[in-house]
Amino acid sequence: MHIKESRTDSICHPLILWASSVLRLKQSINQERESAEQSKEYYIYKVRQKSLDEHIQSSKHEEEKKLEKSMVVVY
């Protein structure tokens, strides 16, 4: 049995992939934070976290632009 992919699925799929990659990055940075706090390298962690947060925001903006371009308004 073959299930046809709907338009919504094809639009949402890249966003789901993006969200899961952000979640993995955040989990990784949380693990890094825990070990940084233990090893007194908290400042380095904060700098990297800020850089990561900026990257996430810019990639989110890019994904939103791609989504806007791919959406078709139907009246």
Q: Which of 50, 65, 73 is nearest to 18 (CA)?
A: 65
**Residue 24 confidence class, pLDDT cut points 50, 70, 90:** very high
Q: Report the predicted TM-score, pTM, of the whole model to 2 decimal places.
A: 0.43
Residue 23 has φ and ψ, to the nearest 5°, of: -60, -45
- Mean pLDDT for the chain overall: 78
Q: Distance between CA 46 and CA 52 in Å, rounded?
A: 10
Q: List, for residues 45-74, the tens digit of each pLDDT value.
A: 888 889 888 988 888 888 888 887 777 665
**Residue 36 confidence class, pLDDT cut points 50, 70, 90:** confident
What is the torsion angle, in degrees rounded to the nearest 10, for the CA atoms of residue 21, residue 27, residue 32 and residue 35? -160
